[in-house]
Amino acid sequence: MEADFVIVGAGSAGCAMAYRLSEAGCSVIVIEHGGTDWGPFIQMPGALSFPMNMARYDWGYRSEPEPHLNNRQLATPRGKVIGGSSSINGMVYVRGHAGDFDYWAEQGADGWSYADVLPYYKRMENWTSGGRGGDPAWRGTDGPLHVTRGPGKNPLTQAFIDAGVQAGYPMTEDYNGQQQEGVGPFDATIKDGVRWSAANAYLRPALKRDNCTLVNALARKVVMRDGRATGVEVSRRGRVEVIEARAEVILAASSINSPKLLMLSGIGPAAHLAEHGIEVVADRPGVGQNLQDHLELYIQMAASKPVSLYRYWNIPGKGFVGTQWLLAKLGLGASNQFESGGFIRSAAGIRYPDIQFHFLPIAVRYDGQAAADGHGYQAHVGPMRSKSRGQVTLRSANPGEAPKIEFNYMSHPDDWEEFRTCIRLTREIFGQEAFAPYAKHEIQPGADVQTDAELDAFIAEHAESAYHPCGTARMGRANDAMAVVDPECRVIGVEGLRLADSSIFPRITNGNLNAPSIMVGEKAADHILGRDPLARDNAEPWVHPNWRTAQR
């Protein structure tokens, strides 16, 4: 078993690289531990709460007890299936703000500013607005990744946009275009009523080529010879084998599993590797450090009218939705239901948004448990740029054992202030005239939870991960001691090894991470192929003219 390039992980970035490298005529083997994504639980957008709670599709990771969140262990789902986490996520498509990528470049990720990455977003997208606005000049229309908008027919979906405008925030027709800031319709990776995962967009077309092969196996470590990666050791059908790479090994196994694999291969903090009896190939103290995520709360309201999706939250209702989708790929099952939302700034003096809203026209948890109050609606809200940092470390040298995941959530005092602001600003939007016909009472936190101390207690007990881990092998200049990959995604200190997935983000981006993860795969493919990057796009993103003095 050998190829020019061996890619570990058939997730968002891995699928994109398999597509582009095989398109260029290179032979590619993709190693994926998970199985097939066939079946309605993954392919039907409306069933999104199922796959991330199924051991068949999810690695099933949990954080260590989080000291600032009442020692709760938070679920950390990662896709163990072709398509990776793009096969089990909420399908919300967010590029990130221009300021995120300009910050990356300032921190040493040369060539990754917004002007550098915008052409890759355009290359990968096949975007349609679904008749709900947007700016085609900022979008791509012939890439592999189909992005569209739900119909927005539920009156609550539009009420959120109207209420945001009534509260004084701008309306933005395309938060992935010139203006992220504001409220408006949401984009989703859905095509013709089907989840358009990285597997559907990139891997399936790649596997139709003779030079791309998928191998179902567990990667154990990168095989190193004289400081060079030459292959990947895997467990397959009960045997240990080596898959050889003639040119390069590429890790794209997630921000949890990629640093784990580096450390198992002898690349990481030398003292930590020595603790587990692993021979040090390259002492890179940044491996597994800089772990970041988005936390969020569900601010839930009970509805005074039966307008929410709760009417389908029973066996006959779910049967109707499922049948309609199976027969025609239409109806509620054809949408992720995150059809409106927004990005706002928490205070004057913040240059670009630091709070995200996902609006959902039902009061329900991620695990599919509906609120006891029946009809309702909710906003998922949380800060975008937490200052807290965590780490991923080895529990043992056994490749089959889960790593230790310590997010260290809410360890910075600013996080608490930002989260209280999130709750209060959400309540203000829900209190606008647009929601007057529907508002009954607040389910959570509840109208009696008002003081800082009461809000802090609610946050500590109810904050949940938005499932956006990243940053554990961050990109930087080769002379940066804490950088793990250089701006061409080469692992610093070894030859023939690259890493390209959300691990390399110097700092978490605004919004959901699927889009920037795919973009990383697209751009990394050009670096791997030795091509000149796409020409910079210097389109000027919108920034609130009074951001220094006004919050909205």
The per-residue pLDDT string of the chain (552 residues; one tens digit each, 9 = 90 and over) reads 999 999 999 999 999 999 999 999 999 999 999 999 998 999 999 999 899 889 999 999 999 999 999 999 999 999 999 999 999 999 999 999 999 999 999 999 999 999 999 999 999 999 999 888 888 999 999 999 999 999 999 999 999 999 999 999 999 999 999 999 999 999 999 999 999 999 999 999 999 999 999 999 999 999 999 999 999 999 999 999 999 999 999 999 999 999 999 999 999 999 999 999 999 999 999 999 999 999 999 999 999 999 999 999 889 999 999 999 999 999 999 999 999 999 999 999 999 999 999 999 999 876 667 777 799 999 999 999 999 999 999 999 999 999 999 999 999 999 999 999 999 999 999 999 999 999 999 999 999 999 999 999 999 999 999 999 999 999 999 999 999 999 999 999 999 999 999 999 999 999 999 999 999 999 999 999 999 999 999 999 999 999 999 999
Alpha-carbon dihedral sign for residues 98, 101, 107, 108:
negative
The CATH number covering residue 321 comes to: 3.30.560.10
| Residue 508, domain extent | 2-38+198-289+470-528
- Does 302 lie in the same domain as 172? yes
Asked if residue 448 belongs to a domain, the reply is yes
Return the pLDDT at 372: 73
Asked if residue 370 belongs to a domain, the reply is yes
The DSSP code sequence of 378-420 is: EEEEEESS----BEEE-S-S-TTSPPEEE--TT-SHHHHHHHH
474 Cβ partners below 8 Å, 6+ apart? 286, 290, 482, 483, 484, 485, 503, 504, 505, 506
State which of 465, 482, 504 marks the end of a domain.
465
Q: pTM, whole model, 2 decimals?
A: 0.98
The reply to whether 91 sits in an annotated binding site is: yes
Largest CA distance in the chain: 70
- Does 283 lie in the same domain as 191? no
- Does 219 lie in the same domain as 189? no
- Amino acid identity of 374? G
The reply to whether 286 sits in an annotated binding site is: no
Q: How far is CA 388 from the centre of its chain?
A: 18
The CATH number covering residue 238 comes to: 3.50.50.60
Return the pLDDT at 133: 86
- Which of 319, 356, 304, 362 lies closest to 337 in space, CA to CA? 362
Q: Are 472 and 226 in contact (CB under 8 A)?
A: no
Return the pLDDT at 35: 95
State which of 416, 447, 465 marks the end of a domain.
465
Catalytic residue selected from 97, 468, 527, 544: 468
Asked if residue 502 belongs to a domain, the reply is yes
Asked if residue 434 belongs to a domain, the reply is yes
The reply to whether 89 sits in an annotated binding site is: yes
User: What's the domain count of the chain?
Assistant: 2
**Is 412 annotated in the active site?**
no
- Does 475 lie in the same domain as 459? no
Structure tokens at 268: 């990481």
What is the C-alpha to C-alpha distance for residues 292 and 257, in angstroms, rounded to an integer? 15
3-state secondary structure of 436: coil
Return the pLDDT at 527: 98
The reply to whether 376 sits in an annotated binding site is: no
What is the C-alpha to C-alpha distance for residues 530 and 468, in angstroms, rounded to an integer? 30
What is the C-alpha to C-alpha distance for residues 221 and 243, in angstroms, rounded to an integer? 11
Burial label, 530 (beta-carbon count in 10 A; 0-12, 13-18, 19+): exposed
- Does 280 lie in the same domain as 385? no
- Does 169 lie in the same domain as 316? yes
- Does 313 lie in the same domain as 412? yes
- Does 504 lie in the same domain as 385? no
Q: Are 86 and 514 in contact (CB under 8 A)?
A: yes
The reply to whether 117 sits in an annotated binding site is: no
Rg of the chain in Å (alpha carbons): 22
Q: Are 87 and 37 in contact (CB under 8 A)?
A: yes
- Does 157 lie in the same domain as 207? no
- Does 336 lie in the same domain as 478? no
- Does 404 lie in the same domain as 452? yes
- Does 488 lie in the same domain as 501? yes
Asked if residue 242 belongs to a domain, the reply is yes
State which of 419, 435, 465 marks the end of a domain.
465
